[in-house]
Amino acid sequence: MTSILITGASSGLGAEMARQFAALGHDLALCARRTDRLDDLRAEIGAAHPGVRVVVTALDVTDHDAVFAVFEELAAELGGLDRVVVNAGLGKGQPLGTGRFDANLETARTNFIGALAQTEAAAAIFRRQGRGHLVMVSSFSALRGMPGNITTYAATKAAVAHLAEGFRADVHGTPIKVTVLYPGYIVSEMSGTSRRTPLMTSTEKGVRAMVEAIEKEKRSARVPAWPWAPLGFVVKRVPVGLLRRLT
């Protein structure tokens, strides 16, 4: 049994990760802005897995002081943190130069600066403990600069992947582990308004692939492996004109 902190746990991938980790017997610290949803999720998990401890707390990852305070409070309450999943994110964005800097700035603040705060807070705890597992939820879109509404989103997801990889290099040779996940199209609240494609995977199936990669402490994983592992090879090399039609 391990203690796992998940941010952005009130819906979508975060909530489903909580369900699946609870089924494996892990204790959970769940954070999000919408505490009513966290309370419902805690009740659901408690009914299904009464032996699992679930602690919930409100957290806006753009409130950087709160990130550090909440992570420390949860570590103290659970007697340490074995794993932190940096999952909170925002899918908002607009094409560059179209007068919507506000949307792109909000995306950058949440997805990168917010993730930086979470990584700093987790890393401090792991260094003090001498152990831990950082899980960074990036995106398949991070593999290459993307056009349109996801340009800034993709850039932030590339940045957080590099952030996690840099931390991995720092702690190489220690019991601290780092996993970077690159999810493909998985049904979630964030993808709800996105164009559906035959490549879209159900939340349960997509998160199962994520949880399996995390449990194996993989360095990185494109999830689900099919078709996203081979598609990664293609996307990095496809001409720009074709890339625009595919996204």
Catalytic residues: 153
Q: Are 8 and 189 in contact, with CB atoms under 8 Å apart? A: no
Q: Are 200 and 156 in contact, with CB atoms under 8 Å apart? A: no
Rounded Cα–Cα distance for residues 66 and 88 (Å): 14
Rounded Cα–Cα distance for residues 16 and 124 (Å): 27
Angle at the Cα of 25 from the Cα atoms of 23 and 27, rounded to 5 degrees: 110
- Please provide the size of the chain in residues: 247
Rounded Cα–Cα distance for residues 45 and 24 (Å): 12
Helix, strand or coil, per DSSP, at residue 24: coil
Q: Are 191 and 200 in contact, with CB atoms under 8 Å apart? A: yes
